[in-house]
Amino acid sequence: MKPALGVCYYPEHWPEEIWAEDAARMVEAGLTWVRIGEFAWSRLEAQPGQFTFDWLDRAIETLGTAGLKVVLGTPTATPPRWMVEKHPDMLAVDAEGRPRKFGSRRHYCFSHLGYREESVRIARILGERYGRNPHVQAWQIDNEYACHDTTVSYSAAAIAGFRNWLAQKYQSPDALNRAWGNVFWSMEYADFSEIDPPALTVTEPNPSHVMDWRRYSSDQVVAYNRVQAQALRPLTDAPLIHNYMGRVLEFDHFDTGADLDIASWDSYPIGFLSDRLEDTAEHKRRFLRQGDPDMQAFHHDLYRAVGRGRWWVMEQQPGPVNWAPHNPAPLPGMARLWAWEAIAHGAEAVCYFRWRQAPFAQEQMHAGLLRPDSAPAPALAEAAQVAREIEEMPDVTPAQARVAILFDYPSSWAWETQPQGADFDYFRLVTEVYRGLRRLGVNVDILPLAGADLSAYKLVLGPGLFTLPDALRAALATHSGLAILGPRTGTRTPNFAIPVPLPPALPGLDTTIALTESLPNGAEEPLEAGGCIGRWLERLEGSAEVVERTTAGQPVLVRSGGLHYLAGWPDPEAMVRILRSACAEAGVATTDLPDGLRIRDTATHRFYINYAPEPLNHDGVTVPAAGVTWTPFR
Amino acid sequence: MKPALGVCYYPEHWPEEIWAEDAARMVEAGLTWVRIGEFAWSRLEAQPGQFTFDWLDRAIETLGTAGLKVVLGTPTATPPRWMVEKHPDMLAVDAEGRPRKFGSRRHYCFSHLGYREESVRIARILGERYGRNPHVQAWQIDNEYACHDTTVSYSAAAIAGFRNWLAQKYQSPDALNRAWGNVFWSMEYADFSEIDPPALTVTEPNPSHVMDWRRYSSDQVVAYNRVQAQALRPLTDAPLIHNYMGRVLEFDHFDTGADLDIASWDSYPIGFLSDRLEDTAEHKRRFLRQGDPDMQAFHHDLYRAVGRGRWWVMEQQPGPVNWAPHNPAPLPGMARLWAWEAIAHGAEAVCYFRWRQAPFAQEQMHAGLLRPDSAPAPALAEAAQVAREIEEMPDVTPAQARVAILFDYPSSWAWETQPQGADFDYFRLVTEVYRGLRRLGVNVDILPLAGADLSAYKLVLGPGLFTLPDALRAALATHSGLAILGPRTGTRTPNFAIPVPLPPALPGLDTTIALTESLPNGAEEPLEAGGCIGRWLERLEGSAEVVERTTAGQPVLVRSGGLHYLAGWPDPEAMVRILRSACAEAGVATTDLPDGLRIRDTATHRFYINYAPEPLNHDGVTVPAAGVTWTPFR
Amino acid sequence: MKPALGVCYYPEHWPEEIWAEDAARMVEAGLTWVRIGEFAWSRLEAQPGQFTFDWLDRAIETLGTAGLKVVLGTPTATPPRWMVEKHPDMLAVDAEGRPRKFGSRRHYCFSHLGYREESVRIARILGERYGRNPHVQAWQIDNEYACHDTTVSYSAAAIAGFRNWLAQKYQSPDALNRAWGNVFWSMEYADFSEIDPPALTVTEPNPSHVMDWRRYSSDQVVAYNRVQAQALRPLTDAPLIHNYMGRVLEFDHFDTGADLDIASWDSYPIGFLSDRLEDTAEHKRRFLRQGDPDMQAFHHDLYRAVGRGRWWVMEQQPGPVNWAPHNPAPLPGMARLWAWEAIAHGAEAVCYFRWRQAPFAQEQMHAGLLRPDSAPAPALAEAAQVAREIEEMPDVTPAQARVAILFDYPSSWAWETQPQGADFDYFRLVTEVYRGLRRLGVNVDILPLAGADLSAYKLVLGPGLFTLPDALRAALATHSGLAILGPRTGTRTPNFAIPVPLPPALPGLDTTIALTESLPNGAEEPLEAGGCIGRWLERLEGSAEVVERTTAGQPVLVRSGGLHYLAGWPDPEAMVRILRSACAEAGVATTDLPDGLRIRDTATHRFYINYAPEPLNHDGVTVPAAGVTWTPFR
């Protein structure tokens, strides 16, 4: 199947007179998909029950007859003002107990059953009207769950829901008290109605309490998404999609993904570099107008897993955005490069956000493919180039990766709850492993813990996993390839207690974490083989074979057969060395790539992707600055 | 007219026995004005309607018979405790909805009509009693509007007032929805009563919403000031004054100024350097005990504009203050230098704050002309020296400046609402232009946008203007001198939308901002002619003549005839070069001043003002450290 | 008397089956004391009035018969959930008016009389049951007062209490208005009921208001502690103890100490280094796994004063903790070193916290003497070694120090209220003086201001004292030794006003603070004799003999006879020089110690304590890294 390009469009923002010309220009640029409707509730239902669909009918007709396929969004991320009047208690409430006000978006609480019902209602009405419309070939449910920190709400609805959820889970207060260890500070409850969210306590609340609160909050996103999906299913055969975000881990995307057909995400490489990447000032300067060379690829691989193989980029940055601390423009070529990187990772579609820059409201400084005056913005020509190149090149067929990283949303919640070191961050740990593999030119699959099939992988990495489920423990015991778990992996029970016997307690691997240290900057422990361990260091005991040790002789990487445990957080040098060596032993080919150049292999092509601001050469292939090129694979 | 010196005095703080001696010492030091009364409400009206004026009668009599002219303040910045009891809802409310408590000052909400009436009442009562008193020769209304971030309040009174203000402005919710672009995220309103202040939203509110809120809040200061002025007008012929502050832009001072006779401001050069100046650590160290060499001059020029030519320094720092992060003492000479700088800029009066350091309450660490034990503090002798020098020198006659900077308070609100780059600050941009001109020894006038008469100016600067009013656009089209607008100037409609055709759309100048970038530190773009552009860079299109470009060839300054557009934020080197070159072409003489030395020309004298801690020489004139000297002009 | 070791134990956390073995292992390790019970309220009284003492009876019996002495805690730091149901208004309230929630500890407000009564009730019930139990040989009241910033609460109970306290103190609103200087900003009150806590004011409240609020808050801790002590006194002859903390100054420990028999504190050297020590990055790296070389000693000396000679370490860090920004492990030897340092300072007991690491709840990452799996953690062997060494060595007899530092909790509140310079911190100032003396190998006593007997001391230091009580002023006038007061000492009246005549107004010393400066980093003033003054510099006038001056000639240290006034904050070089010189004159022997080595003299031994990570040599004695050694004294 050939990948496709698309764009996000807001007919309600523009005079109807220009819709047809807009559609024609989209088609001319080689775009196939057009996403619409996801913020239009106030234009569809201006007052409760008073619907106005004619404009949307005509917009879909105009776009469809021009040759475009429509992704229709349910508009539930932006409940209109009257909805807040109708359900005043639907507003999300922050940790300090303040209801959030109307006037932007995502102001609803996932736990509010009244709003959940309203969301089902509008989804059903849209499904009934457009579910069989031939131009509507996909649906997007809501928009960017969790955006603006909206997963967790402290509303009355959430508090009631949490108590009920706990009652279902534990059945008795005593069972909960035992599971949480509430004896610790006389925190024992006699009734579920006594339990509040873990906020505004004098000092830190019980981590078990927090973890259940985080699980509950994630479950509400899942439940909310599910009822909309269930409403649409009988009404359409088109696939259901949600557009996730970058570096958002507040709810379990694998859980929502299970109810949908396709995962998509909104990729803003330059905004993310400015806003949510820890790295050196030098790195940030070098990739200022390109974005980090690995963050897009990581999310592509992650959402491929969330979508069980089917995934899109629903929003692709086309130029400067409006929301990062600083908002530079992409280097010429980046709007093409990002699209190709997605395609090389298996994206079915890449949609640019947005068609025409809106001259009004919150995102007026967010670039589009057109300027506000309808003149082409720089990305339009690059999108058109990608469309032509897709047309001209033979199909891109995916290849099976041989290296996998186990990824787990609850682990992120756990270590946010208990960082123990101020700079211990699960996402950062995982992506530093991922970056190490990318620097070696290795394709990676991301795997969820539940039902992970390791059989295809010669090397499996499991950094920072909160718990190690029994099934996974068993799979590791029989896995024929290499596996490197740790640091911190399997160090807690699901109830957030330290297991006894002490972790990691891996099958056949005689190693025990006797003591754990978190270390500030400047207190790194150098390794015998070069590089160092910083931030996190576990002291191991046991007879396992030592692979790496500090210059002081402390074991840092131990193994038994293929199963390894890594007892610290390696710096980039040590990370790459450890990974290179493991790949070599596992029979996975590696290559040392220059800074900014990346490789992605499919079954048919090797893509060379150059994030650097200067041309780079590798394997005799020269790639221009901000350029992509490809060669037939092998 | 000779300038005069004065001092701020609090007879209610001291035993009546020492008033006469204090007055005699003031006169002996050459002081003419004495400001009193602005915080004394609880001593004038201890309980509602129970007045005690005898002490104030005697204080005015004592000061007046000693030869001093009194500035009498209305005490409305410090409503007494009983007022809060009487009007519990008069308290200012912060953005999180918390009423501010009694116990300091400025705790009232400008929107509260009940308190507004109480303020009129006390002003009228004072006016009736002292309006024709021969010793009361000026009035100060309230004290330091906006101090401690008090312009904007989220009280019930403010919410009601805002809705009414919006209804007056837009007449219908639909008109407001269209003006704000509320279709964007289904933010449309059906009734004005649905609209809240733009606070506590989940993510950023609509910038049009914020901008109207800021305008509304500024208008309440104006209305509050106006009713006090209207109360006093019939009762006195003395001029009405308000004492503004440094780097406070939360309300439109031109609007309040229109209702008053004289603008004054409170000048704390060393406090401002520590508390509210962005500059290098080296610069801050060099001017630690002198204050920044340009901040006082900028405010002098600004308040001369606000006062339509008539202005004072109402409070002049005499020694260490109590409120900055660090509070060093001025170098010997600075209390004289600051006064002369004000006089050279046309101040009618300079009043030191305060006469005797109070040993109690909030400002006990704020120096005065006397120590708490009544011994002279260092500034007393310097003030006396200034008084003698004023007596001895011929009158200082103002000169017409040939260079003007257009200044606009709403532009500050606009870019606070939408900085787009984390470090884009309107005040900083304007004052960096101002500093560039000061380093070249050029006199500058500040002009408001409304009714700006450009005819006297050979060079007009308009950096960072939110909108460009039609009248100003027309004036620029026919202006015979040079003008440099930008960056960001005229890039929004009054409704806070991007205009189409795209900005800047200047008369006769074919240049269009195709794209805008905000840039972090370290991502500066060097210019061909030296220096660089940082922080903000607009990509221009069009056929206009290019004056400056980046080393990559991107135009940064373009022109047609005398009209220029500057598409970025120059560093100091580039700023001075651009300004020097424009002055040369415009026929404005410039000179390159050593670091810390400044020149101010009047029609009769050239003042050399040395902020440096070492003597400096220029044009054969040597100025001691922290010294001022003057020569007959030309 | 020989010092003893002990441990903190939580029988309620563990199956009863292992209590006896735990007890046996404690005894085997040489431990004598075991503290229990201080968080167990919900296990003693699961519902109001329903008591369960059998498990505690058996625990005490088991521990006691094994040979251990029990410290029994009153469990009032952790009121159970039902208590909050019973007294909903007992919760502490923060400065923004938000009640703190149940779910951690210390959630009560000290002002709440209902909870105070409940605390007396449980203390009395425990006293009645265990007051004469032969195994219970000491009592701990509550746990870590003030921990998690809990001294000050803004509850309704606190507001009512504060008004009553003010009425008692001032008798009339007019007297309060005069004392506070409320005329300043019309802040005058007509009734005590009008006075709120000094929070949420628009700008800073009156410092006199804040100071009384701080005194009131401290007094509530004292009152709360006193009623528990009074409840226990008739029921037991065992000593009453509280366990204080490090760098906690929010209440007056001398006042609580007066009602108790022994002071104890909780010593976490590595956590404190990470969490609450201002020092260079280099210093923090060097002592990362040892803790600062002086902070423990300072608190030992402080709590010896609070306990009027009798003091313990109630909690001694045994390994990594869970609560600091980073949590490294101690170097081998530190768990011994810390114990010996305490013993050398006169501790009667050192108890490690805790016996076995809890695998659940908030402190699961806090190390113990045992790991969660009951295997020995590294500190167990070190504790056992200390126990053996105590056994083997002759008794350690205290020596009388010849140098004293005057220490005053209200001074900390005062300068927090009015820092005047952003980095002026009373604790830091005092401990920098202390560190200077420690670097010179000098024993120090800490003295409270009230009733301080100076006669034993050849040198008395009084840095940063808010007020100088008359009795102390008189004692200094007749003191035969040297005294160095300042900076900032005696610069306020008890009402928080500047006294006239101006400070310091010391007996026989003609020096007056004419002006005060706070200085930012980089603005230090070098001294003629080397080193410099930073942060704080007072300008002195008068005829006193000048001992130290800046290179600009400004006096910084002046004297008359033995009485000195220090007018600034010396850097380490100047501090040590000034102290060395004063000691020399006073006849106190000094020695220059290498970085990290410290000396503590008793009447019988000189202890050499090496905090450095490498061996150090002094006086021919070599001390291993993280080692302690001792020689017979003189």
Q: What pLDDT is recorded for position C592?
A: 97
The Cα B101–Cα B108 span in angstroms is 10
Amino acid at A180: W
SS3 B575: helix
Cβ distance A520 to C80 less than 8 Å, yes or no, reads no
The Cα A273–Cα A3 span in angstroms is 26
Listed in sequence order, the DSSP H helices in C564-633 are: 572-586
B:468-497 residues touching chain A, CB 8 A cutoff = 495-497
The verdict on A174 touching C (C-beta cutoff 8 Å) is no
Q: Which residues of C touch A200 (CB under 8 A)?
A: 98-101
Q: What pLDDT is recorded for position A134?
A: 98
CA distance A322 to chain B (A): 6
- Asked about A614 being catalytic, the answer comes back as no
The Cα C109–Cα C90 span in angstroms is 6
Decide: A166 and A195 in contact? Cβ < 8 Å.
yes
Q: What pLDDT is recorded for position C634?
A: 64
Decide: C215 and C238 in contact? Cβ < 8 Å.
no
Cβ distance A421 to C327 less than 8 Å, yes or no, reads yes
CATH number for the domain that contains residue A524: 3.40.50.880
What is the arithmetic mean of pLDDT over B176-201?
98
Decide: A514 and A565 in contact? Cβ < 8 Å.
no
Q: How many CB pairs under 8 A join A and B?
A: 162
Q: What pLDDT is recorded for position A634?
A: 64
Instruction: Return the DSSP state at A464.
Output: T
Does residue B216 lie in a domain region? no
Q: What pLDDT is recorded for position B398?
A: 84
Does residue B578 lie in a domain region? yes
User: What angle is formed at CA C357 by the lines to CA C354 and CA C362, rounded to 5 degrees?
Assistant: 95
Cis peptide before B239 (omega within 30 of 0): no
Does residue C564 sit in the same domain as residue C452? yes
Does residue C356 sit in the same domain as residue C505? no
For residue C93, what pLDDT band results from cuts at 50, 70 and 90? very high
Structural domains in chain A (count):
4
Subunits that touch chain A (at least 3 Cβ pairs < 8 angstroms)? B, C
What proportions of chain C, in percent to the nearest 5, are helix, strand and coil? 35, 20, 45
The structure tokens listed for B438 are 């000061």
Q: Which residues of A touch C379 (CB under 8 A)?
A: none
Q: What pLDDT is recorded for position C81?
A: 98
Cβ distance A362 to B207 less than 8 Å, yes or no, reads yes
Listed in sequence order, the DSSP H helices in A155-294 are: 156-170, 173-180, 207-232, 253-257, 269-275, 281-286
Last residue of a domain, one of C349, C367, C392: C392
What percentage of chain C has pLDDT greater than the value 70? 100
CA distance B83 to chain A (A): 29
Q: Which of A174-183, C212-221, C392-401 has the lowest mean pLDDT?
A: C392-401
Cβ distance A523 to C328 less than 8 Å, yes or no, reads yes
The Cα A523–Cα B276 span in angstroms is 36
Average pLDDT, chain A: 97
Going from the C-alpha of B438 to that of each of A275, B270, B345, the distances in angstroms are: 37, 19, 13
For residue C79, what pLDDT band results from cuts at 50, 70 and 90? very high
Nearest 10 degrees: Cα torsion C380, C384, C389, C394 = 120
Does residue A373 lie in a domain region? yes
- Asked about A16 being catalytic, the answer comes back as no
Which phi and psi angles does A542 have, rounded to 5°?
Answer: 130, 175
Does residue C423 sit in the same domain as residue C388? no
Q: What pLDDT is recorded for position A241?
A: 98
For residue A397, what pLDDT band results from cuts at 50, 70 and 90? confident
CATH number for the domain that contains residue A233: 3.20.20.80
The Cα C29–Cα C382 span in angstroms is 9
CA distance B417 to chain A (A): 10
Q: What pLDDT is recorded for position B617?
A: 97
Last residue of a domain, one of C358, C392, C426: C392
The Cα A514–Cα C377 span in angstroms is 8
Q: Using one digit for the tens of pLDDT, what is the confidence trace for B459-470? A: 999 999 999 999
Subunits that touch chain C (at least 3 Cβ pairs < 8 angstroms)? A, B
Does residue B246 lie in a domain region? yes
Q: Which residues of A touch B185 (CB under 8 A)?
A: 39, 78, 104-105, 361-362
The structure tokens listed for B204 are 């950023």
The Cα A119–Cα A142 span in angstroms is 9
Average pLDDT, chain B: 97
Strands C597-601, C605-610: pairing kind: antiparallel
Give the chain B residue whose CA is nearest to the CA of C535. B326
Positive or negative, the CA dihedral A494, A500, A505, A508 is negative
Does residue C108 lie in a domain region? no
The verdict on B204 touching A (C-beta cutoff 8 Å) is yes
**Which residue, among A174, A177, A185, A516, would best test binding to C if mutated, counting the most C CBs under 10 Å from its CB?**
A185
The verdict on C281 touching A (C-beta cutoff 8 Å) is yes
User: Which of C557, C570, C460 is CA-nearest to residue C509?
Assistant: C557
The structure tokens listed for A570 are 């390696």
Q: Which residues of B touch A106 (CB under 8 A)?
A: 202-203
Would you call A423 exposed, middle or buried from its count of C-beta atoms within 10 A (0-12, 13-18, 19+)? middle
Does residue A369 sit in the same domain as residue A225? yes
CA distance B102 to chain C (A): 6
For residue A513, what pLDDT band results from cuts at 50, 70 and 90? very high
Instruction: Return the DSSP state at B276.
Output: S
Is residue A40 scored above 70 in pLDDT? yes
Q: Which of B38, B45, B144, B341 is catalytic?
A: B144
The Cα B109–Cα B157 span in angstroms is 8
Does residue B128 sit in the same domain as residue B250? yes
Does residue B142 sit in the same domain as residue B164? no
The domain in which residue B625 lies consists of: 597-632
Does residue A139 sit in the same domain as residue A286? yes
The Cα C108–Cα C90 span in angstroms is 6
For residue C590, what pLDDT band results from cuts at 50, 70 and 90? very high
Is residue B397 scored above 90 in pLDDT? no
Does residue B202 sit in the same domain as residue B331? no
Q: Which residues of C touch B107 (CB under 8 A)?
A: 201-202
Q: Which residues of C touch A525 (CB under 8 A)?
A: none
The Cα A301–Cα A433 span in angstroms is 14
State the CB neighbour count (10 A cutoff) for residue B241. 24
Does residue C115 lie in a domain region? no
Does residue C47 sit in the same domain as residue C132? yes
What is the arithmetic mean of pLDDT over B174-194?
98
Cβ distance A326 to B518 less than 8 Å, yes or no, reads yes
Does residue A441 sit in the same domain as residue A554? yes
Decide: A325 and B520 in contact? Cβ < 8 Å.
yes
The whole-angstrom distance between residue C421's C-alpha and the CA centroid of its chain comes to: 24
**Which residue, among B203, B206, B539, would best test binding to A if mutated, counting the most A CBs under 10 Å from its CB?**
B203
Cβ distance C360 to A496 less than 8 Å, yes or no, reads yes
Q: Which of B38, B45, B315, B548 is catalytic?
A: B315
Does residue A608 lie in a domain region? yes
The verdict on A95 touching C (C-beta cutoff 8 Å) is no
The structure tokens listed for A366 are 């967010």
For residue B634, what pLDDT band results from cuts at 50, 70 and 90? low
Q: Which of A394-398, B29-33, B413-417 has the lowest mean pLDDT?
A: A394-398
**Which residue, among A94, A357, A362, would best test binding to B if mutated, counting the most B CBs under 10 Å from its CB?**
A362
The Cα B425–Cα B464 span in angstroms is 9
Q: Which residues of A touch C150 (CB under 8 A)?
A: 202
Q: How many CB pairs under 8 A join A and C?
A: 165
Does residue C292 sit in the same domain as residue C316? yes
Q: Which of C144, C250, C348, C432 is catalytic?
A: C144
Does residue C488 lie in a domain region? yes
**Which residue, among C187, C206, C212, C496, would best test binding to B if mutated, counting the most B CBs under 10 Å from its CB?**
C187
Decide: C26 and C34 in contact? Cβ < 8 Å.
yes
DSSP letters, B482-535, are EEEE-SSTT-S-TTS---SSPSB--TT---EEEEEEE--TT--EEBTTSSEEEE
The Cα A212–Cα A417 span in angstroms is 11
Average pLDDT, chain C: 97
User: Which of C125, C138, C193 is CA-nearest to residue C160?
Assistant: C193
Q: What pLDDT is recorded for position A66?
A: 98
Cβ distance C322 to A420 less than 8 Å, yes or no, reads yes
The verdict on B185 touching C (C-beta cutoff 8 Å) is no
Last residue of a domain, one of C392, C420, C447: C392
Q: Using one digit for the tens of pLDDT, what is the confidence trace for B511-529? A: 999 999 999 999 999 999 9
SS3 A24: helix
Across the interface, of C43, C325, C362, the residue whose CB is closest to A206 is C362
Does residue B469 sit in the same domain as residue B613? no
The verdict on C298 touching B (C-beta cutoff 8 Å) is no
Going from the C-alpha of A63 to that of each of A3, A66, C4, the distances in angstroms are: 20, 5, 85
Q: Using one digit for the tens of pLDDT, what is the confidence trace for A466-511? A: 999 999 999 999 999 999 999 999 999 999 999 999 999 999 999 9
Cβ distance B208 to A98 less than 8 Å, yes or no, reads no
Q: Which residues of A are annotated as a binding site for substrate?
A: 105, 143, 323
Q: Which of A354-368, B399-413, B620-634 has the lowest mean pLDDT?
A: B620-634
Q: Using one digit for the tens of pLDDT, what is the confidence trace for A50-64? A: 999 999 999 999 999
Burial C572-588 (b: 16+ CB within 10 A, else e): eebbbbbbbbbbeebeb
Strands C349-352, C311-316: pairing kind: parallel
